[in-house]
Amino acid sequence: MKNKIELRLMQPDDLADVVALEQKAFTHPWSLQLYIDALQSYECWMMFVDGQHVGHGVISQVLDEAHLLNIAIAIEHQGQGLGLHLLEHLMQRASERGCVECFLEVRASNSPAYRLYERYGFNEIGRRRNYYPTIDGHEDALVMACTLFAD
Ligand SMILES: CC(C)(COP(=O)(O)OP(=O)(O)OC[C@H]1O[C@@H](n2cnc3c(N)ncnc32)[C@H](O)[C@@H]1OP(=O)(O)O)[C@@H](O)C(=O)NCCC(=O)NCCS
């Protein structure tokens, strides 16, 4: 039987689950306070498979530009196409809201995320030196952009 994938907007009650997933998926996860602020300012989406929270993503919008601020899939659910499904949904939403382009930053060392973005259609357009903290220093951010097409 095919698994049932659902997407809905994040609610304050989701934040404990979101932060728990982030802490396992990221070396530098967003804090609870960051998510409380994100719920006020950005569009935050939850993804479920058969009712289980498997991932989430956050997009911001300024005029007709979107910015992908975060995307995460639970470690045990990675490598099944869920990241791409969630990214497609977030870009669809941005397009519906009138955005014509989306930007993001990704750690230079984060090959799985970089490949996901490339697979969707993002191109690398720049590099911010020493943008992200690491456990023992800093690393570059790669800046990527993608044109969004309305259906
Ligand atoms: C980046 C991230 C969101 C990708 O999520 P994901 O669900 O693993 O992504 P996908 O499953 O769509 O793609 C991952 C890989 O699985 C492969 N894949 C997809 N569906 C598959 C399937 N049915 N069977 C086997 N492999 C599959 C993809 O081809 C891809 O392979 P590649 O990395 O060698 O190119 C996830 O790794 C993550 O949450 N990482 C930690 C948080 C993070 O770094 N976020 C990005 C911040 S910028």
Mean pLDDT of 86-102: 97
Task: Give the 3-state secondary structure of residue 128.
Answer: strand
For residue 35, what is the domain's CATH number? 3.40.630.30
If one counts the domains in the chain, the total is 1
pLDDT at 27: 85
Give CA torsion, residues 16, 20, 23, 26, to 10 deg.
-100
C-alpha 35 to ligand 1 mean position (Å) = 23
Ligand 1, residues 45, 90, 116: which to mutate, most atoms within 8 A of Cβ?
Answer: 116
Task: Supply the mean pLDDT for the chain.
Answer: 96
Task: Give the 3-state secondary structure of residue 100.
Answer: coil
- Ligand 1 neighbourhood includes 80 CB (under 6 angstroms): yes
C-alpha 43 to ligand 1 mean position (Å) = 22
pLDDT at 1: 67
C-alpha 112 to ligand 1 mean position (Å) = 6
The model's pTM is 0.96
| Residue nearest to ligand 1 atom 18, measured at CA | 79
* Structure-token pair, residue 151: 């259906």
13-37 pLDDT tens trace: 999 999 999 999 988 899 999 999 9
- What domain range is 112 assigned to? 5-147
DSSP-based helix, strand, coil % in the chain, nearest 5: 35, 40, 25
| CA dihedral sign of residues 103, 107, 109, 112 | negative
Taking each helix axis from N to C end, the angle separating 32-41 and 15-25, rounded to the nearest 10 degrees, works out to 120
- Ligand 1 neighbourhood includes 60 CB (under 6 angstroms): no
Nearest one of 144, 140, 124 to 132, comparing CA atoms: 140
Task: Give the 3-state secondary structure of residue 55.
Answer: strand
- Distance in angstroms (rounded) separating the CA atoms of residues 145 and 151: 19
